[in-house]
DNA sequence: TGTCGAATGCTCTAACCAGAATATATCGCG
DNA sequence: CGCGATATATTCTGGTTAGAGCATTCGACA
């Protein structure tokens, strides 16, 4: 009986129906209008199945089916009492308890040493440029929202996105610098085992392991 | 024929097999040992199906099936040439191009005004405490890694996680303060429409819309 | 008046994936 | 030496989801 809470789109649906009854297509359009599709992954396929699942669990209910002109018939849903409780509960949980996320970039950094150091630096420099573009775009849309007079409270999530973006930009900028000038600890080692690679880029793994072990020895016995 | 690249676990598998042939269980253990399960979502069910899918697409191949003692038989995989190309390509893409992510907390912030302001502030304060705990834990495991002598290069992803964590902590701390003392623009409005709510917490949505519209008017005509 | 393309609204399907379930072996402990 | 706990290794299952596909209507334009 317990619903899974895995898809935040369900939260968005509940939050919208908490305001007033809607049919699914209207929900998607409202989310778009308010720019919430930037903070909640929205796609049509998921939307309809999420609504179905909420209905099955009694958190929303079909309020009416109507037909406007000769358009396809559509079902208007409303939130139930249980749904109202659930949305407050879920939202509270999300605010109170940080969730472990797995950003793609973090995964990529995990395997950074697989690439030759110079390639890695070149790619990260390109990332910096791309991040700066995104930052400009975000700032632009925030300014626009403020210009319409919408209180910033209703766009906090974008401010948050901006904060993360800035943090990433600072991090990558610093990383690129230190990888580039070799002051990041381990770059020498990294460079060495990629220099020993064959012409096809293949690396002798035994050599890598030995190099890492040697490094560790030297650090441990060091000062 | 083009593979989807949706699951970073496949990247991890390729990266491991790029080092040396392994069987799935060994992959999972290696990822754990190296702490990469903090940056790539790892679970057994997915692992086996991801490996199957990679095999189907010719990026990895069964190298042998062996049996040690009377343990269940296991299949050792190796990376193919196409797989080597794919891992470099995929990794390069991830480093170069920022991906749009949808953190749960961002979704939650999107619907913040649904909760009564005082509740929201209380919950966010609890989040600050939780974030500080996580920060301490992360710092601990980083110190530990350095203590073994492992070059920081091999744990960059955790440094990144730390940077994001710090950014979130700063953001939430600031947010809580400004929501608490009412200096965040829109809080007055928020407080007003929650004060008008019935005893069951139900809110008159028409009143909200009117209030927001009025606010917008006042801002636009204002200085 | 015919038609082209955009907008409206929903459905279908194949892949994906999380979590549970299964099965055996080994180890420590009284 | 028998018991449960832990480690090894994989398979199963069923819900979830992304993305494409379908069907209709309407406005614009020629």
* Residue of B210 and B158 predicted with greater confidence: B158
Say if B2 falls within a structural domain.
Answer: no
Average pLDDT over residues B44-53: 91
Same domain, B213 and B137: yes
Alpha-carbon distance A161 to A39, whole Å? 9
Say if B40 falls within a structural domain.
Answer: yes
Statement: the CB of A1 is under 7 Å from strand D: no
Contact across the interface for A109 and B201, Cβ inside 8 Å: no
Instruction: Report pLDDT for A105.
Output: 97
- Nearest CB to A8: which of B107, B119, B190? B107
Instruction: Report pLDDT for A112.
Output: 97
Same domain, B91 and B134: no
Same domain, B122 and B36: no
Average pLDDT over residues B3-7: 87
Q: How far is CA B205 from CA A38, A65, B136, in A?
A: 24, 22, 43
Q: Which residues contact A157 (CB under 8 A, 6 or more apart)?
A: A36, A38, A39, B106, B107, B109, B110, B112
Q: Which residues of B touch A98 (CB under 8 A)?
A: 105, 127, 130-131, 134, 168
Instruction: Report pLDDT for B21.
Output: 93
What percentage of residues in chain A have a pLDDT greater than 90?
A: 65
Given a cut of 90, whether residue B110 has pLDDT beyond it is: yes
Same domain, A123 and A15: no
Say if B1 falls within a structural domain.
Answer: no
**Cβ–Cβ contacts within 10 Å for residue A97, how many?**
13
Within 13 Å and on the Cβ side, how many CA atoms surround A187?
15
Alpha-carbon distance A129 to A173, whole Å? 10
Average pLDDT over residues A120-129: 98
Chain mean pLDDT for chain B: 89
The neighbouring-strand residues paired with B60 are B79
Same domain, B114 and B205: yes
Same domain, A166 and A127: yes
Final residue of a structural domain among A67, A96, A125: A96
Secondary structure (H, E, C), chain B:
CCCCCCCHHHHHHHHHHHHCCECHHHHHHHHHHCCHHHCCCCCHHHHHHHHHHHHHCCCEEEEEEECCCCCCCEEEEEECHHHHHHHHHHHHHHHHCCCCCCCHHHHHHHCHHHCCHHHHHHHHHHHHHHHHHHHHHHHHHHHHHHHCCCCHHHHHHHHHHHHHHHHHHHHHHHHHHHHHCCCCCCHHHHHHHHHCCCCCCCCCHHHHHHHHHHHHHHHHHCC
Tally of domains within chain A: 2
Given a cut of 70, whether residue A141 has pLDDT beyond it is: yes
Instruction: Report pLDDT for B17.
Output: 95
Contact across the interface for A153 and B190, Cβ inside 8 Å: yes
Least confident of B86-100, B116-130, B191-205: B191-205
Domain that holds residue B169: 104-221
Chain mean pLDDT for chain A: 88
What percentage of residues in chain A have a pLDDT greater than 70?
A: 89
Statement: the CB of A41 is under 7 Å from strand D: yes
Same domain, B90 and B109: no
Same domain, A125 and A181: yes
Say if B127 falls within a structural domain.
Answer: yes
Q: How far is the CA of B94 from the C1' of D23 (A)?
A: 39
pLDDT band of A70, cuts 50, 70, 90: very low
Instruction: Report pLDDT for A181.
Output: 96
Average pLDDT over residues A41-53: 90
* Residue of A63 and A81 predicted with greater confidence: A81
Instruction: Report pLDDT for A87.
Output: 95
pLDDT band of A163, cuts 50, 70, 90: very high
Torsion angles phi and psi, residue A4, rounded to 5: -85, -25
Most confident of B18-27, B74-83, B160-169, B203-212: B160-169
Between the CA atoms of B52, B38, B96 and A155, what dihedral angle is there, to the nearest 10 degrees? 120
Instruction: Report pLDDT for B70.
Output: 47
Instruction: Report pLDDT for A68.
Output: 53
Same domain, B30 and B115: no
Given a cut of 70, whether residue A183 has pLDDT beyond it is: yes
Say if B21 falls within a structural domain.
Answer: yes
A5 alpha carbon, distance to own chain's centre: 17
A195 alpha carbon, distance to own chain's centre: 36
Final residue of a structural domain among A62, A96, A130: A96
Instruction: Report pLDDT for B193.
Output: 84
Say if A123 falls within a structural domain.
Answer: yes
Say if A167 falls within a structural domain.
Answer: yes
Q: How far is CA B70 from CA B66, B74, B77, B177, in A?
A: 11, 11, 20, 62
Given a cut of 90, whether residue B213 has pLDDT beyond it is: no
Contact across the interface for A95 and B113, Cβ inside 8 Å: no
Given a cut of 50, whether residue B223 has pLDDT beyond it is: no
pLDDT band of B68, cuts 50, 70, 90: low
Q: What is the CATH number of the domain that holds B81?
A: 1.10.10.10
- Return the nearest residue to C17, CA–C1': B46
């Amino acid at each position: 009986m317990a619903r899974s809470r895995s898809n935040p789109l369900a939260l968005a649906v509940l939050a919208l129906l908490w305001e007033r009854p809607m049919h699914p297509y209207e929900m998607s359009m409202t989310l778009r209008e308010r720019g919430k599709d930037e903070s909640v992954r929205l796609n049509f396929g998921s939307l309809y199945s999420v609504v179905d699942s909420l209905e099955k669990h009694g958190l929303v209910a079909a309020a009416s089916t109507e037909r406007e002109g000769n358009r396809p018939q559509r079902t208007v849903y409303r939130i139930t009492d249980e749904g109202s409780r659930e949305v407050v509960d879920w939202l509270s949980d999300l605010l109170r308890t940080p969730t472990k996320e797995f950003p793609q970039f973090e995964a990529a950094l995990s395997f950074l040493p697989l690439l030759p150091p110079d390639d890695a630096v070149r790619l990260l420099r390109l990332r910096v440029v791309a991040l700066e573009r995104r930052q400009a775009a975000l700032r632009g849309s925030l300014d626009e929202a403020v210009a319409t007079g919408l209180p910033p409270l209703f766009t906090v999530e974008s401010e948050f996105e901006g904060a993360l973006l800035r943090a990433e930009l600072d991090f990558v900028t610093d990383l690129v610098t230190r990888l580039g000038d070799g002051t990041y600890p381990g770059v020498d080692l990294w460079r060495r085992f990629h220099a020993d690679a064959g012409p096809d880029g293949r690396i002798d793994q035994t050599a890598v392991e030995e190099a890492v072990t040697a490094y560790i020895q030297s650090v441990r016995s060091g000062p």
